[in-house]
């Protein structure tokens, strides 16, 4: 928070990539605060696209040093809908399960849920591979990370 108790406003762009599903994957986040811009990325040798999308969001939020007001732009409808349509609230209420059984990526949803208590986050869905330069950059970084694990 700033001196006046007002939360800093940050924009985070995220993306995940996977070559095969499962397969080698990568994630990326671009954080913007005022004139400051930071890129984060990483990957795993055997994962899924949804796990990489979630990790991009998680690592982006974990990089913030204090509680912030965040506009998070993702091309993952899976994530945007889970938050905006309150699926995550239902999953929490059902012990991190779905009505019809297992919740995939429950470990990551729980991790994200804790971060949503710290930060005030508005999730916005953006069309992937469109004219959004930061989304394109996230895609480039995530794909590059996934290629590091390709055999």
Annotated catalytic residues are 15-16, 53, 75, 129, 139
Cα 105–12–122 angle (5° rounding)? 75
CA distance 17 to 132: 17
Could you give the count of Cα atoms lying within 13 Å of 109 in the half-sphere of its Cβ? 25
Per the CB < 8 A criterion, the answer to whether 38 and 63 are in contact is: yes
Q: Please confirm whether the linkage preceding 85 is cis (ω < 30° from 0).
A: no
Q: Kindly state the DSSP code that residue 58 receives in the 8-state scheme.
A: H
Longest dimension (CA), the chain: 52
């Amino acid at each position: 928070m700033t001196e006046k108790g007002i939360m800093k406003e940050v924009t985070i762009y995220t993306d995940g990539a996977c070559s095969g599903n499962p397969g080698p994957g990568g994630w990326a986040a671009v954080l913007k605060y005022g004139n400051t811009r930071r890129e984060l990325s990483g990957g795993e040798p055997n994962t899924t696209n949804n796990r990489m999308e979630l990790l991009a969001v998680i690592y982006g939020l974990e990089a913030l040093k204090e509680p912030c007001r965040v506009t998070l732009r993702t091309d993952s409808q899976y994530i945007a809908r889970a938050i905006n349509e309150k699926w995550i609230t239902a999953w929490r209420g059902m012990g991190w399960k779905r009505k019809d059984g297992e919740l995939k990526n429950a470990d990551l949803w729980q991790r994200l849920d804790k971060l949503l208590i710290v930060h005030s986050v508005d999730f916005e869905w953006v069309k992937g591979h469109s004219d959004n330069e930061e989304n394109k950059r996230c895609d480039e970084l995530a794909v590059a990370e996934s290629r590091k694990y390709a055999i």
